[in-house]
Amino acid sequence: MSFFFPGKHDKIVSALKRFGFSISEGGSHSCAKCIENGKKTTIPRHNDVKSEVVNNICKFLLEKEFKKEEISKFIK
């Protein structure tokens, strides 16, 4: 299942916060940690995040049983 669209760092971070992730800022990446199980994913701090990275983050969310429509709505 693919999304294949680039995303904006701020939109991705705010969407992950809505999905219940805690966000910590690093040097060149933001780290999103799932509060429920401690799993982590990273988001590069670029204005435009490549579609491959967005796709991987979306796959991570799908594994956590979020719905594809919900993910697309918040990240696009």
Residue 19 predicted with pLDDT over 90: no
Residue 1 belongs to some domain of the structure: no
55: domain CATH number is 3.30.920.30
What are 20-61's pLDDT values in tens digits? 889 999 888 999 998 877 888 888 888 888 888 888 888 888
Query: What are the tokens at 68?
Result: 């594809």
Distance CA 32, CA 29 (A): 10
pLDDT band of residue 1 (cuts 50, 70, 90) is low
What local confidence, expressed as pLDDT, does residue 24 receive? Answer: 93
Residue 2 belongs to some domain of the structure: no
Q: How many domains does the chain have?
A: 1
What local confidence, expressed as pLDDT, does residue 67 receive? Answer: 82
57 close to 68: Cβ distance less than 8 angstroms: no
Domain extent, residue 25, equals 7-75
What local confidence, expressed as pLDDT, does residue 65 receive? Answer: 78
